[in-house]
Homo-oligomer: A and B are copies of this chain.
Amino acid sequence: MATVRERTRGAGRRDWSTWPAYDAAVTGFRGWWYPVAWASTITRRPTAVVLGDTKIMLMRDGDAVRALHDRCPHRGIPLSMGRQQFPGTLSCAYHGWTFDLSSGRLSAVLTDGPESRICGKVSVTTYPVEQRLGLVWLYLPRVDGDPDEVPHPIDEQLPEELVGTDFVVGGRIDDRAGNWRFAVENGYDEGHAKYLHRTALWRLFKTMPAWNVTHIERRGRWIYRVQDEVHWSGDFPGVGTWTNYRWWKQKPPQQTFNIGNTGAAKRVDPVIAAQAFPGFASLSVPGVLRIAYPNFIHYEFYVPTGPDSHRYVGLMVNFTRGGWRVPWFWAKYLGGIRWLFHGQFSGQDAAMVEATDAPPERLYRPDVSLTEWRKLCEETEAARSASAPEGAS
Show the binding face of A for B, using Cβ within 8 Å. 1-4, 6-7, 9-10, 12, 71, 73-78, 81, 85-86, 89, 91, 93-98, 103-105, 107-114, 116-118, 121-123, 145, 147, 189-192, 194-196, 210-211, 213, 231, 234-240, 242, 351-352, 355-358, 360-366, 392
Q: A77-B355, A77-B357, A147-B3 are in contact. Are A191 and B112 (CB under 8 A)?
A: yes
Candidates B196, B236, B238; contact of A93 at CB < 8 Å: B196
CB-CB under 8 A from A98, the residues of chain B are 236, 239
Question: Once the chains are docked, how many angstroms separate the CA of A233 from the CA of B77?
Answer: 25
By beta carbon, the residue of chain B nearest A93 is B196
CB-CB under 8 A from A107, the residues of chain B are 236, 238-239
CB-CB under 8 A from A192, the residues of chain B are 94-95, 111
CB-CB under 8 A from A81, the residues of chain B are 351, 355
CB-CB under 8 A from A12, the residues of chain B are 73, 122
From A96, A104, A109, A236, residue with most partner B Cβ within 10 Å: A236
Candidates B93, B122, B195, B238; contact of A362 at CB < 8 Å: B122
* B365 and A93 contacting across the interface, CB-CB below 8 Å: no
* A95 and B365 contacting across the interface, CB-CB below 8 Å: no
Q: A7-B145, A357-B76 are in contact. Are A94 and B195 (CB under 8 A)?
A: yes
Q: A81-B355, A116-B364 are in contact. Are A195 and B236 (CB under 8 A)?
A: no
What are 17 inter-chain pairs, A to B, with CB distance below 8 A? A3-B147, A10-B121, A10-B123, A12-B122, A71-B357, A73-B362, A76-B355, A81-B351, A85-B240, A94-B192, A95-B195, A95-B196, A108-B237, A109-B364, A110-B236, A113-B234, A117-B365
* B195 and A366 contacting across the interface, CB-CB below 8 Å: no
* A114 and B237 contacting across the interface, CB-CB below 8 Å: yes
* B195 and A96 contacting across the interface, CB-CB below 8 Å: yes
Q: Smallest Cβ distance from A362 to chain B, in angstroms? A: 4
* A239 and B116 contacting across the interface, CB-CB below 8 Å: no
Question: Once the chains are docked, how many angstroms separate the CA of A1 from the CA of B141?
Answer: 16
Given A114-B236, A118-B364, 7 further pairs, Cβ under 8 A: A2-B104, A3-B147, A75-B356, A76-B356, A111-B195, A111-B211, A122-B362
Q: Smallest Cβ distance from A240 to chain B, in angstroms? A: 5
Q: A111-B366, A242-B85 are in contact. Are A6 and B121 (CB under 8 A)?
A: yes
* A112 and B2 contacting across the interface, CB-CB below 8 Å: no
Q: Smallest Cβ distance from A230 to chain B, in angstroms? A: 11
Question: Once the chains are docked, how many angstroms separate the CA of A74 from the CA of B360?
Answer: 8
CB-CB under 8 A from A78, the residues of chain B are 355
Q: Smallest Cβ distance from A369 to chain B, in angstroms? A: 12
Question: Once the chains are docked, how many angstroms separate the CA of A95 from the CA of B9?
Answer: 21
* B196 and A110 contacting across the interface, CB-CB below 8 Å: no
By beta carbon, the residue of chain B nearest A106 is B10
Question: Once the chains are docked, how many angstroms separate the CA of A123 from the CA of B392?
Answer: 56
Candidates B1, B191, B194; contact of A147 at CB < 8 Å: B1
Candidates B86, B147, B194, B361; contact of A111 at CB < 8 Å: B194
Question: Once the chains are docked, how many angstroms separate the CA of A117 from the CA of B366?
Answer: 11
